[in-house]
A and B are shown apart, each in its own frame.
Chain A
Amino acid sequence: DGGITQSPKYLFRKEGQNVTLSCEQNLNHDAMYWYRQDPGQGLRLIYYSQIVNDFQKGDIAEGYSVSREKKESFPLTVTSAQKNPTAFYLCATKSEGRRNQPQHFGDGTRLSIL
């Protein structure tokens, strides 16, 4: 989706290191989401934010942290407490202005352990 930019596309983490994944959007969407995708599995929700300066834990928040200081940005930090971080991470956004709007996804960041 051209309106959502995830960077970097590939990221490598050393043991004990924190890394931050970027998600920027120019769709003027209020809500933003972070998902983790493992091979052969569906997406699992890590964190989400419905408005600036507010965010909620999803189903698998342990070992991750987020911030939402600007409407356009929702960075995800994978901390050293996340023992199995190797996965494909997807950011999504959604307009809150109308009901039943779909989520729009970025192209993802693939995180691997060195």
Chain B
Amino acid sequence: GNSVTQMEGPVTLSEEAFLTINCTYTATGYPSLFWYVQYPGEGLQLLLKATKADDKGSNKGFEATYRKETTSFHLEKGSVQVSDSAVYFCALSSPRRGGTSYGKLTFGQGTILTVHP
């Protein structure tokens, strides 16, 4: 079955530091890959996505590249801010249309990021 493994947290950084959160996956075929962010007490917001190999998703200074050869989708940001403190989830979507698992998301366990001033 599909699975997503995220870098264990929590991750604590100073403002303007470089961020990497590792994400690797196991899936058949070519899944779509997503990063979601969850702020305290809220639901998940889509941060970025990539739908095929070598695609780079980007949003709000965050980037992630779909690497099929290493089955990875690592999240990066060059300079984090205090407002980036949140929980980050990597997820994949089953690619097979018509199957019972179509459209379902498989999530990693989440990585807590805390950014200090």
Q: Are B104 and A48 in contact (CB under 8 A)?
A: yes
- Interface size of A by Cβ–Cβ distance < 8 Å? 27
Residues in B with CB closer than 8 Å to A50 are 102-103
Residues in A with CB closer than 8 Å to B46 are 102-104
Q: Are B103 and A43 in contact (CB under 8 A)?
A: no
- In the assembled complex, A1 has its CB within 8 A of some CB on chain B: yes
- Decide yes or no: A90 and B89 within 8 Å by CB, A41-B109, A41-B110, A56-B100 being known contacts: no
Q: How far is the CA of A17 from the CA of B16 in the complex (A)?
A: 49
- In the assembled complex, B51 has its CB within 8 A of some CB on chain A: yes
CB distance from B104 to the nearest CB of A (A): 6
Q: Are A40 and B32 in contact (CB under 8 A)?
A: no
Tell which of A56, A100, A104 touches B32, judged by Cβ atoms closer than 8 Å.
Answer: A100
Q: Are A105 and B43 in contact (CB under 8 A)?
A: yes
Q: Are A1 and B107 in contact (CB under 8 A)?
A: no
Taking beta carbons and an 8 Å cutoff, which residues of B are in contact with A? 4, 32, 34, 36, 41-46, 49, 51, 89, 93, 97, 100, 102-105, 107-110
Taking beta carbons and an 8 Å cutoff, which residues of A are in contact with B? 1, 4, 6, 31, 33, 40-43, 45, 48, 50, 56, 58, 90, 92, 94, 96, 99-100, 102-108
